Amino acid sequence: MIDPASVAFDIDGVIADTMSLFLDIAHEEYNINGIRYEDITCYNLADCLDLNPEIIDLVVTRILDGDYAASLKPIAGAPEVLTRLGRYYNPVVFITARPYLGPLLDWFSDVLSLSPTLIDMVATGAHERKAGLLLERNISCFVEDRLETCYALQNVGILPILFKQPWNRKPHPFVEVGTWHELEELMEF
């Protein structure tokens, strides 16, 4: 069981369905069709998608800046579980490798029924910086979708919970969940 007071969360791929947004922008703004969510089999999109790297960079920049007409949707169940968690244990900690928070604070206000004062959100700019920030906050468990980050967290004594995604389907030793309902069942409310 996970102590809800000691868990923190990645954002993209765990809470925010960022890869679906990527596909929506690529389709709507750049007329790119035929790429499915399941085709995103690695974290570095240029390694698994047959797309011009410049277009990948343009779409990613638009996501980071909030410059898109499509809708960034939450992963099913995330708002409900996080709202419940935040009512009893706060602040709820979110650590992202994004270089800046951009539109995330507003998005969280729209998606979660939590006051911004109950949220601690940090943009690290690099996956490698997550562990140190988690340790500073006495976080012992982190929900992450990037397999390489899970290994780094485990090396410093943080329990990683891998959120299943097509890009992390390699053999690994970590506890994994495929839904927020499964994650909630691991928490000892």
Ordered per-residue pLDDT tens for the chain, 189 residues:
899 999 999 999 999 999 999 999 999 999 999 999 999 999 899 999 999 999 999 999 999 999 999 999 999 999 999 999 999 999 999 999 999 998 998 899 889 888 888 999 999 999 999 999 999 999 999 999 999 999 999 999 999 999 999 999 999 999 999 999 999 999 987
| Spatial strand order in the sheet of 92-96 | 119-123, 92-96, 7-9, 141-144, 159-163, 175-177
| 22 plus 115 within the same structural domain | no
Cα dihedral 26→177→151→38 (10° resolution) = -30
| 111 plus 55 within the same structural domain | no
pLDDT score for 1? 87
| 95 plus 114 within the same structural domain | yes
| 107 plus 173 within the same structural domain | yes
| 24 plus 58 within the same structural domain | yes
> Are the CB atoms for 68 and 9 separated by under 8 Å?
no
pLDDT score for 113? 80
pLDDT score for 18? 97
Q: In terms of residue numbers, what domain contains 52?
A: 18-65
Task: Classify residue 163 as exposed, middle or buried by CB count within 10 Å of its CB (0-12, 13-18, 19+).
Answer: buried
Closest CA to 175 of 187, 163, 161: 161
Token pair listed for 77: 């169940």
How many domains, in total, are found in the chain?
A: 2
| 181 plus 152 within the same structural domain | yes
| 94 plus 129 within the same structural domain | yes
| 173 plus 106 within the same structural domain | yes
| 59 plus 80 within the same structural domain | no
| 42 plus 81 within the same structural domain | no
